[in-house]
Every structure is written in C-alpha cells, then in structure tokens.
Amino acid sequence: MSKFRTIVMYFVLVMVTLALLFGINRVERRLDEQVAEHNLRFTGQIKNAPPVVVFTTVALGSFRGLVADLLWLRAGALQEKGNYFEMVQLARWITDLQPTFSGATAYLAWNTAYNISVTCSSYADRWRWVNEGIKLIRDQAIEYNPEDPILYKELAWIFQHKLGNIMDDANLYYKNRLAILITNILGSGNPNWQELAAAPKNVAEFMKLYPEDHRFWRVAKEAGFENFDAVFNAFRSAEPAALPVSITGPLENDPKLVTDLTAFFRAELLRDQLKLEPSTIVEINEKYGLMDWRVPESQAIYWATVGLERTPGHKDINCERIITQSLYEAFRAGKLLMIDERNFESIIVVPNLALVDSVYRTFTETQEYYEKDRTYSTFRSAKLNFLQEAITILYNYGKFSKAAEYYKILQQEEPGKWKASLESFVMDQWVEDVRDAAVKKASEIISGLIFRSINYLVYNDQDAAVANERIARYIYRKYAADLGRDDRTKLPSYSEMKKSVVESCLKIFPPAMVEVLKAKLEAERAAAEAETTPAGEQ
C-alpha cells in the first residue's frame, strides 16, 4: 500500500511539474510577444552576439546576474586600489554577462574614458583608456543593443565632449591621434566618399565581384598573397593604408581597377576599425554639408544620427541635442588645417562655413518639434548664440553678404534688440571675444582675419591686408598673454597658423588667384630678406 502511495505521489508531482512548465512556457511566450510589440529591453534573445555570449546567457541563466554582481564588486575594489588594467577585461565580461543592460555598459565606458583616463600622467596612456571606453560601446554593446539610443548618445558624447572639448589637458593629443588614425585609413583628409560608398559592402560582395579567376587575384598570388586576409593585412599595415606596390605595379595599365580596389579596402578598413559606414557618411554630408571626418564632432554627429535611425520612432531628444551641439562646434572649428604627427601638441582648425545653413535649420526644426509651445526654449537660446557667432565668423572670412543675411535673421528673431550696423555689431563681438575667448574661438578669429588679409593681398588692397593682419596679431598676442599659457589652451605659433591658412588658400583658390598669391608671397619673402641683410652684403 505504501509503495502504491509513493507511485501516485510521484505521478502527481510529475504532472504538477509538467503543468507548471507548460504554464511558464505560455507566460514566457506572451511576455516575448509584448517585448517585441512594445520594443522593450530584456535579457532574453540576443542578436549579433558571439558564441561565448550566447553560451553564458543560456548556460548560466539567471545565475549570470550573480556572477556579474561579483565582477562589479571586484571592479570597484580594483578602482579604489588604482589597479586599472584588469578593469578593461572585467568591463567586457560584465557586458558579456548582461549584454542588454545598456546602462551598465554606458557607465563602464564613461568611467573608463573619464575617471580612469585622467589618473594617468602620460597622454598616450590617457588616449588608450579613452579609446577603450569608446570601443566598449561601439564595438561591443551596440552589437547587442542596436536599437538602444542611450548607447549612441553616450558614444557620441565621448567624441563631442572628451575629444572635442578642451577640459582634458590631453585634448590636443586626442584630436591629433584621431585625425592621424582616420587619415591613415582614408589616405587623405578629403577622400571621394561616393567611391567608398559605391564599393562592395562586405567581403562576400567583393569576392563575388572579383572571383578567384579575376586578374587581381592572379597578380596578388604572384606577389605572394594567397587569400583575402593576406591582402587586407598588407593593406592595413601601410601608413597610410595602401595596396602593396607588388600588386598595383602590374595593374598600372588599369587605373580604374586600382582605384576601385583601393576604395573597397579603405571602406572595409573604416568599417573594421571605426565601425563607420561610407554610405551613411555620404547621407550625412548631403544633409548637412561636406564635413571633415577627421574631427571629433563629425564622429559625434555620425553616431547620434545612427542612433536616431535605429531607435524605434526615430526620435530621441538626447541624440538630437548631440547633433545640434556638434553641428554648431563643427561650424565653429570643424575644418582641419594642420596636425602634429610628431609631438601631438598642436592642431589648427578653422570654421567649416559650408555648415552654416544646416546648423540654423537643424536648431529651428528641433526647437519646433520638442519645445514649440514652451516659454523658455534651450534650442532657441542656443540658436541665438549661434546666430551671433555665425555673423562674426562669416564676416571674418570675407562672407559679407552671408553675414548680412544672418544679421537680418538675428534682428527678426529678436525684434528691436539689434539696431547697430553690421560692422558695428562685428566690432563689438570682437571686443568681447578677445576679452574672454576660448581656444577654439581665438583660433577661428585669428585664422579668419589672416584669411581676409590674404584675400585683400591678392586683390591688391595692401592697406586692408595690413590692417587685418595687424588685428590678427593683436588678438593672438592678447590671447597668448591672458589665456594661452596652459598646455590645453595654448595656440600654435602665429607663423604656423599663418602658414596653414596660406596653404589652405593655395588649395581652394582658383588657379589665377593662386599664381597671384604665390607672386605676392615671394615678393614679401624677398623684401623680408632684404631688410635683414646688411647693406654691405648686397
């Protein structure tokens, strides 16, 4: 009787267990449907994850939270002791254990890029930590959470604030390293983005377009490169990245093939190292204006834009703020003239005037969408600040009609406030800028005055040329004496700044103006040599 009772009990327990499992399965399916329907974040199915992450999430189940907690405790203890190097691996493990906990990853990346980096005295070590913070979000977390705007905002913020701002003493080092990295990938600061976007999107497409019996592979194998990885590794190892001469040499009679191959390998290297898609860059350039992708602000705009595209509803105020702020900064100082590849101690940037209309348009559209009926609008306040700066910058660079156009817009935005002439308005702004200029502002004013001086020089207006350069030198000396003594705020030498602006003019001026400018510069050089040469030696 007792044996029968035991069998019945086991049978009942099995049936109850099966019923509970069936009920749990139905509830889980319903929860999964609601998650998919409402785009909720959860720790169930993970997309784009490598095998090790899939294994840990399935094998450990709910226990992975306990393991992650232990790793958090370990990371905190290491940070208190100043033992930071193990924390990189811990951060990656925590992200693997909780791949969809984007808040944790955002904090770990911020902690690495900000708190840990500044404890290092070496700028190279700081850059390494900042880069680790970037890679934790860009190369890992976004793969698991492609629709989470928090991650895109945090990644864009690191580029905009940590690299683009001047708060960190190592900011010039960061800017140089980023510019050099991108230049090495692209081969120049102004690549043909349409060519890169038109290239095959991945290795499979490339192999389909260039099968094994293609001439390219025959030449590659004769040069000792047996497969795609061998060619790609050779390409990426060059500085700047380039196909080996042993491949391009035999193909020199087919320049289009060399150009197409180079475009693909550059695009693939850009995707591999920085996760940037050339076709998206083309879309951003078409929307806002041609950007210089060597500066941090362009990277910030890229990731905030991708965040909006992938976020359900395609709207997120934090990503919108990143775009408007970064566009503003890119207009102010988003065109790179000179980098310091040897010492990483200086960099010369000038305003990207091509962005002026898109900055104003973006501020206006964002204000209309998010703050239309508010008494106080942060976007409107920022737009008014932009208008005042834009007028001065445009005037500095000789864009007088455009400056007048934006002065009228400012007067319409704030009726009755701005009654002075355009020239008087600009002079008042100069006085304020010299008194409390930041390094970016000082650089753009000085570069703009030098640019105007060169234009006047070419058009034989010697008095105006001398006057503008005299103002530029005055502002330079004033800034250097008052604010430019620290490493993070100092400017390059005046001669370096003038040389960079001159080189930029030689590239953008029409051929006839270039010849006139070269003749003027040669005459100036000869006159300077004559003044320094004693009379008896002539």
Q: Per-residue pLDDT tens for 351-397? A: 899 999 999 999 999 999 998 877 788 999 999 999 999 998 888 78
Does some domain include residue 4?
Answer: no
SS3 state at 241: coil
**Locus of tokens 């105020």:** 317
Tell me the per-residue pLDDT of 3-47, one tens digit each, with 9 for 90 and over.
777 887 878 788 888 888 788 777 777 776 765 655 555 444 445
Does some domain include residue 93?
Answer: no
Beta-bridge mates of residue 347: 339
Higher pLDDT, 374 or 537: 374
Does some domain include residue 523?
Answer: yes
Q: What pLDDT score was predicted for residue 151?
A: 93
CA dihedral 308, 310, 312, 318 (to 10 degrees): -30
Does some domain include residue 243?
Answer: yes
Tell me the per-residue pLDDT of 497-514, one tens digit each, with 9 for 90 and over.
998 899 888 888 888 888
For the record, the structure tokens of 290 come out as: 């041609």
Q: Which of 279, 308, 326 marks a domain boundary?
A: 279
pTM of the model: 0.78
The yes-or-no verdict on residue 176 having pLDDT over 60 is: yes
When mean pLDDT is compared across 35-39, 46-50, 401-405, 431-435, the lowest value belongs to 46-50
Which range, 5-14, 80-89, 256-265, 363-372, is most confident? Answer: 256-265
Asked whether the bond before 240 is cis by omega within 30 degrees of 0, the reply is yes
Task: For 421-480, give the DSSP string.
Answer: -HHHHHHHHHHHHHHS--HHHHHHHHHHHHHHHHHHHHTT-HHHHHHHHHHHHHHHHHHH
Q: Which of 252, 279, 306 marks a domain boundary?
A: 279
Q: Which of 250, 279, 308 marks a domain boundary?
A: 279
For the record, the structure tokens of 173 come out as: 């080092």
3-state secondary structure 312-338: CCCCCHHHHHHHHHHHHHHHHHCEEEE
- How many folded domains does the chain comprise? 2
Angle, helices 422-435/378-396, rounded to nearest 10 degrees: 100
Greatest Cα-to-Cα distance within the chain, rounded to the nearest angstrom: 132
Higher pLDDT, 506 or 101: 506
Does some domain include residue 140?
Answer: no
- Cβ neighbours around 190 below 10 Å, total: 12
Q: What pLDDT score was predicted for residue 113?
A: 92
Phi/psi at 367 (nearest 5 deg)? -60, -45
3-state secondary structure 195-225: HHHHCCCCHHHHHHHCCCCCHHHHHHHHCCC
SS3 state at 339: strand
Instruction: Give the whole-angstrom CA distance, residue 425 versus residue 235.
Output: 53
SS3 state at 406: helix
- Which residue range forms the structural domain that includes residue 525? 436-530
What average pLDDT does the segment 211-229 reach? 94
SS3 state at 403: helix
Tell me the per-residue pLDDT of 452-492, one tens digit each, with 9 for 90 and over.
888 878 878 777 788 778 888 888 887 887 766 677 777 88
- How many residues belong to the chain? 538
Q: What pLDDT score was predicted for residue 43?
A: 45
Does some domain include residue 54?
Answer: no
What average pLDDT does the segment 223-251 reach? 94
DSSP 62: G
The yes-or-no verdict on residue 65 having pLDDT over 80 is: no
Q: What pLDDT score was predicted for residue 538?
A: 46
Higher pLDDT, 148 or 7: 148
SS3 state at 347: strand
Instruction: Give the whole-angstrom CA distance, residue 478 versus residue 442.
Output: 10
Does some domain include residue 375?
Answer: no
Does some domain include residue 13?
Answer: no
Percent of the residues in the chain that have a pLDDT greater than 90, as a whole number? 44
Instruction: Give the whole-angstrom CA distance, residue 260 versus residue 182.
Output: 19
Beta-bridge mates of residue 338: 348
Describe the chain by its helix, strand, coil percentages, rounded to 5: 75, 0, 25
Instruction: Give the whole-angstrom CA distance, residue 267 versus residue 422.
Output: 45
Give just the sign of the alpha carbon dihedral 439, 441, 444, 445. Answer: negative
DSSP 371: S
The yes-or-no verdict on residue 250 having pLDDT over 70 is: yes
CA angle 296–298–301, rounded 5-degree value = 115
Q: What pLDDT score was predicted for residue 57?
A: 55
Nearest Cα to Cα of residue 363 among 348, 344, 384, 346: 384
Average pLDDT in the chain: 85
Start-to-end C-alpha separation, the chain:
129
